[in-house]
Structure formats: structure tokens, C-alpha cells
Structure 1
């Protein structure tokens, strides 16, 4: 457990509880009830959002209209908009997914990413209900997919960097490095940790010359005294 502070001064507690991380698919009840051919189409749309996002953007609204409460379809559309840099449509899709599926982890994480890009770290804490551990956020679950773990830890790691809690961010990074050392999210967090150190050192260096010049200015003033 690690105590920190949020951007509005409220205490933040980082827990690292025990839970199972799996690479096996974790399917919700709504998805499990779908016909096999529909699931195959969803798999195709997932790949299409990455390989041909514009084509995915054409097709996905039709599927979302048919299956509005399947959160992964909104997520695929978010990925496609992100790939082509359509920020306004991306945010609209993320918010719609969160509205329809408020407990869906990736909808929360996608919106948290948008808020961090704006520097709104207080909103990030609200999105996560001030719970910086998957078991606290989803107490009924003891098992999480590795993509859920990586996505969640990446977001809270960058959140802690943003509010100046480097020690907490390092704890998160070590957990990520142990489970998913080669994942792009792990590398991104490592890079941002490094940049946070560089920025902190740069601020110190910018302050140091001013402190060094002050005695000289004081001495010059004394020398000019009658």
C-alpha cells in the first residue's frame, strides 16, 4: 500500500492486491450468448480497426446499432478513430461507450487517457472512483485479462507521474515490467518516468544559476556603497 495525493489534495492510496492475470479470453455474459458467426465477425472487426481503420469506421456503426450494449464494438471504433487521428469522434465514441457501459474497464481507461492529455488529473481519479487497484475497482472479480492489467497499470502509472508521485509510478512500472516487459505500454511508462527525472533536473538547474548570481549582485551593491 502506498499513500499519495491527488491533484486536488485528496489522499490517494495505491494498493497492489493479489489477483490472477490470464491470457485466456474473459468473456462477459452478453458476448457468450452471441452466435458463433457473430463472434467471428467481431474478431474480424477487431483486426480491421487496426489494419484498415477507415473501413472499420464504415462498418462498425452498423454493428453497434445491432448490438449497442456490446462494449467491445465501441472500443474497436475508438481504436479506429485514434488510428486516423479523429480526436473529436474518438472522444464522442469513448463517452458514448462509458454512458452505455459505465463499468467497462476500457471505456474508463480510454476516457482517462483523454483527460490526462488535457492535464485534468482530478477527472482521472473520478473516472477510477479513486480506486487504484483492479480488485478495489472490481471487487467481484479475482481474474483479469493481461490486456486489462496492462491498460490499467499504464494509466495509473502515468497518472501518478502527472500528479508528481514518482515513487508510486515506479511501483506501478515494476509491476508492469514483471508481467509485460515488452509491451509498448511498459516501454511508454519507462520513457515517461525518465522524462520526469529530466524535467525535474532541468527545473533545478534553472533555479541554481539564479541562486549563484544573487551573492554577486549583493557584493556589487556593497562595492558601490559610499
Structure 2
């Protein structure tokens, strides 16, 4: 409650004093000295080097004024004259050892230049609480509180105690969340949290089990184009995905299905057999020629609607290739081509898919798509849920028995499979998944802590996890079938977490940065772990798709905010 219009008390356990927001009277300074100080202060704030000379004169005339020496120290620092600033600070500390700004500036110097947090704590007080330094005082000016706790946070961040830094930061937030010092401290803590999170992710990455991959279904390479039953298929080789005329689509869709399917399989075999040829050709292009390398994607679109079980062997051979092959033909959209196709042609061939999942050296991402497909078989027909549960159980058990196989075990893959099983609430699989989890074979950055895994499996199934499939070739191409996907309803826990995030100053600051990134595709770098003594400019860093997401979820950017 306010004691007067500018002096306030705060309901915060670490603020047992009042905070004055207006200018506080100082009986040790004359009206003339106050006038001189006030005249020079805007020049100090602006970092004007022309103010150095009159400030030096003021210090010489009024050695009893610590504020004049502090302003001279600040101006020297802003002008990059650190040696002179250090001499002024040394003199200030000698003449006025109890002057708060002298204490905080010396603490900052010890932390920033010498990394000497022990000496800094001796100056600032072991508990890093302002009231410990001046137990007799009942009122502090807002600038004193802000500067003291800014220095305290810097010290704690240097020590690596982010939790204690956030506790001191809460004092600044309680007094003035919009204050420039509060904002700088917010960014400094957020930067430290990011660094700590990235270090944690790096450690988890080092501890992950990574499968060794290679192409496991090599095809003899050739240059000659195939011959098709239907010349209409040649349109796949002339048009990019977005350019194939609807008339051509209709003509191809009207072809006899048996020979059409044979031609579609031949297109996939062509991509397998002429990969080296097209790869060499593409290296000569000055820009990407989508119309020359979209025939594989066209074939997958048609297989989503017309494919049958006879197509599965060649589709799996596509998935057995190295990741560079898959990226060449499908780019970042591999799943949108492959999943609907597999869902159509593999529903009755779970044993064949099980064998694929047990093969060595296959890309984990290819296996993730197969796992997603099997899960969707249950989503589209819940009568098959026991069959799908047995399928996942056999895969997890096979991996448990071969944990030492570097050509088979990948902890990211097992985590994604566990997520798919969890969304189906297959609680009977928790024992074998827990064994894999305890052995470090399940990536925690993907699936979370064990209690979160259990919660996932115990949560009722949500139809928002059911992925629709195209009903005709038009839907396959324009992907309008995705509009049939149900929206996920937020649980009470989700609502509470969102509300909590809305009140989290670090989350708010992160959202500001993410908003900037949506505007210019770049994320501003955070301030260093301690606020600088002079103004700095922000640099920009672009986020790679495979880098950790800056929202601190622990997931890769492409699997998290990069999808939004």
C-alpha cells in the first residue's frame, strides 16, 4: 500500500522496506551542486564524451559527492575508457566505501572481468539481499533497488544458480516489470536458461543411441528411361507437383487399374535405378528443376488412391535407401507422400512391416513413418487395436533383446514409436518400454520424463490423433483431406500450463523473439550473461531446422515451432 503518492510498499517477502519512486532528498548536497549534477546527468545518459571535463571538475570541487564520481565512472565506461573508469571506481570505493552504486559497480567488475564471485559476494552480502547491507534503512530509492538486484542476478548467473537469480529478479518484477533494468535482467536470465537448456540437449545428444544407416536395397543404376503401358504416365516427367493439369490427372485416373498400378511401380523403380543419373544432372542446374524430378512424388500421390498390396515391396525399397536419396526426391514432405500410400497398401501386411522394422541399417525416419502408419491402422479401425498392440509389443521386445546392435537401435526411433503407442493408450506395453527407458534407449527430449510417459499412456485416446486419408486423386494433390482432421481440445492441465506461461516473464520475452522470427525468419541473439557496461547492438542468428527449438521444449525446431 502507498505511504504517499511516490513511496510504495510491496507484498513480496524479500521487500521489507518502502521504495521511493520520486527524487529523494539529500542533505549532503547544496542546491548549486544539485543543479550542476542535474544539468550533467542527461549528458551522462547520452554517453556524451564532452561531459567528461565538467564532471572531472565537479569531482575535484566536490570530493564529498559520491554521485559525481559514479557518473564519471559510468561515462568513462560508456566511452570505452576502462582504465580511467577503473581508477575512478577505485577512488570512489576508497572515499565512500558504503556508497551502494560503488559497491554494485565493483561487484560487476569483479564478476565480469575477474569472474571472482567470492569477492563480489563479500561486497554485496552473502545472502544478496539489499536489506542486509543497510539494516537500519526503511526506505530505498527505486534506482538503488534496481541496480543492486541487477548486480545480484549477474553474480548468481555467473555462479550458475539460475533459480536464485530468478528469485532476485522477482523483486524487480514486483516493483516495475517495464523498467529497462528489469527487461535486461529478464533477457540475461532467459539467455542463461537457453544456454543451460542447450547444454542439457547436447549432453542428451551425446548419450543417445544412434543407428548406423546405409542403403540396404541397392538397385543397379542406368540412364535409359523406362517404357510404360500407358504413355499418359510421361506427364509425370514433364510437370512439377503443382503444375500437372487436372485434365492429365483425370486421364491417368481413368486408366485400367491393373496396368496403371504396374506403371506406378515402374515409376518408383525408375527413381531407384536412375537416382545417380538425376543427381548428376541436378548438379549442373543453376536452379532446381522441379518438373524433372517430381515423377516419384506423382507416383506416390496416385498410389494413395489406386495402390494395392503388390506395391508394398517397391515402396519399402524406397524407404530402405539412404536419407540423401529420400531428401532428393521428396525434400521435407516425405511423410505427406509416404504415409497415405502405406496406409492404403500395407493395412493387411503387418508381418511384412514388422520384418522391415527389424531390419538393420535402415533410416530411423523411414521406420518412424512405418510405425505411424501401423498406429493409424488402429485409429481407422479400432477393432484392430489388439493386433496393432501386439505388433508394437513385438517391435519393442525385439529392440530390447538387441540393445547392443548399433545397426538396429536408435533411441529417437524408439521414443517416437513409444509416443505413437501412447497416443493409442496401449498401457500393456509400458513394462517393456520402461525397460528400454531405463537402459537409455528412449530419447527423453522427445518423450519426456518417465512420469510424463505414463501420463501419456493413461490419457484417454483423442480422435485428433487420427489422420484422414484422401478419397480421390484431387484430394491427394490439393491435400484438402487434411481439413477433416479434428482439432485437439485443450485439457484442464493444458489450460493451466498456458495460463502459467502467460504470466511467465521469460516465456513472454521468448514469444517476443519468436514473433520477430516470424517476421524476418531470424531470431535475435540474447544478451550476454551479464548486462554490458555500455550499449550493445543485437546480432541475429538463424535457427536451423535440426537445431534445438528455442522455446526450450527440447525438440528439434522442425518438429516443434518450425511446424507452425
Under TM normalisation by the shorter chain, which class is it? 0.7 to 0.9
Is this contact kept in 1: 2:47–2:79, CA < 8 A? no
Larger Rg: 2
Is this contact kept in 2: 1:157–1:173, CA < 8 A? yes
Equivalent-residue separation in structure 1 for 2:161 and 2:77 (angstroms): 28
Deviation (angstroms), 1:62: 1.4
Listed one character per residue, the Cα deviations across residues 112-143 of structure 1 (whole Å, up to 9, x for unaligned) are 11112122212210211324222210012110
Deviation (angstroms), 1:213: 4.6
Equivalent-residue separation in structure 1 for 2:206 and 2:33 (angstroms): 66
Choose the corresponding residue for 1:24, options 22, 33, 37. Answer: 22
Equivalent-residue separation in structure 1 for 2:22 and 2:179 (angstroms): 17
Q: For residue 30 of structure 1, give the secondary structure of its aligned residue in structure 2.
A: coil
Listed one character per residue, the Cα deviations across residues 94-126 of structure 1 (whole Å, up to 9, x for unaligned) are 121111100000001111111121222122102
Listed one character per residue, the Cα deviations across residues 5-59 of structure 1 (whole Å, up to 9, x for unaligned) are xxxxxxxxxx82400001232344422xx2x223211211222222353121111
Choose the corresponding residue for 2:164, options 161, 168, 174. Answer: 168
* Counterparts in 2 of 1:38 and 1:28: CA distance versus 1, 3 Å: closer
Equivalent-residue separation in structure 2 for 1:207 and 1:51 (angstroms): 44
Q: Specify the alignment match of 2:110 in structure 1.
A: 115
Equivalent-residue separation in structure 2 for 1:195 and 1:17 (angstroms): 26
Equivalent-residue separation in structure 1 for 2:46 and 2:211 (angstroms): 62
Q: Specify the alignment match of 1:55 in structure 2.
A: 50
* Counterparts in 2 of 1:110 and 1:144: CA distance versus 1, 3 Å: same
Equivalent-residue separation in structure 1 for 2:44 and 2:173 (angstroms): 27
Is this contact kept in 2: 1:161–1:169, CA < 8 A? yes
Equivalent-residue separation in structure 2 for 1:131 and 1:30 (angstroms): 30
CA RMSD of aligned residues (A): 2.2
Q: For residue 16 of structure 1, give the secondary structure of its aligned residue in structure 2.
A: coil
Q: Specify the alignment match of 1:182 in structure 2.
A: 178
Task: Tell me which protein shows more strand as a share of its residues.
Answer: 1
Q: With structure 2 as the length reference, what TM-score do the two structures score?
A: 0.34
Is this contact kept in 1: 2:150–2:181, CA < 8 A? yes
Is this contact kept in 1: 2:146–2:172, CA < 8 A? yes
* 1:73 lines up with 2:45 in the alignment: no
* Counterparts in 2 of 1:117 and 1:160: CA distance versus 1, 3 Å: same
Choose the corresponding residue for 2:38, options 35, 43, 62. Answer: 43
* Counterparts in 2 of 1:213 and 1:152: CA distance versus 1, 3 Å: same
Report 1:84-123 matches (<5 A): 84-118=79-113, 119-123=115-119
Q: Which aligned segments of 4 or more residues in structure 1 are displaced greater than 4 angstroms? A: 213-216
* 1:137 lines up with 2:126 in the alignment: no
Choose the corresponding residue for 1:200, options 196, 201, 209. Answer: 196
Q: RCO (CA 8 Å, sep 6+): is it higher in 1 or 2?
A: 1
Q: For residue 25 of structure 1, give the secondary structure of its aligned residue in structure 2.
A: coil
Is this contact kept in 2: 1:98–1:107, CA < 8 A? yes
Listed one character per residue, the Cα deviations across residues 127-174 of structure 1 (whole Å, up to 9, x for unaligned) are 113242222100121100000011111111222222122111111222
Q: With structure 1 as the length reference, what TM-score do the two structures score?
A: 0.81
Equivalent-residue separation in structure 1 for 2:109 and 2:51 (angstroms): 21
Aligned length: 203
Is this contact kept in 2: 1:50–1:83, CA < 8 A? no
Any stretches of 5+ residues in structure 2 without a counterpart? 1-12, 213-403, 407-564
Is this contact kept in 2: 1:91–1:111, CA < 8 A? no
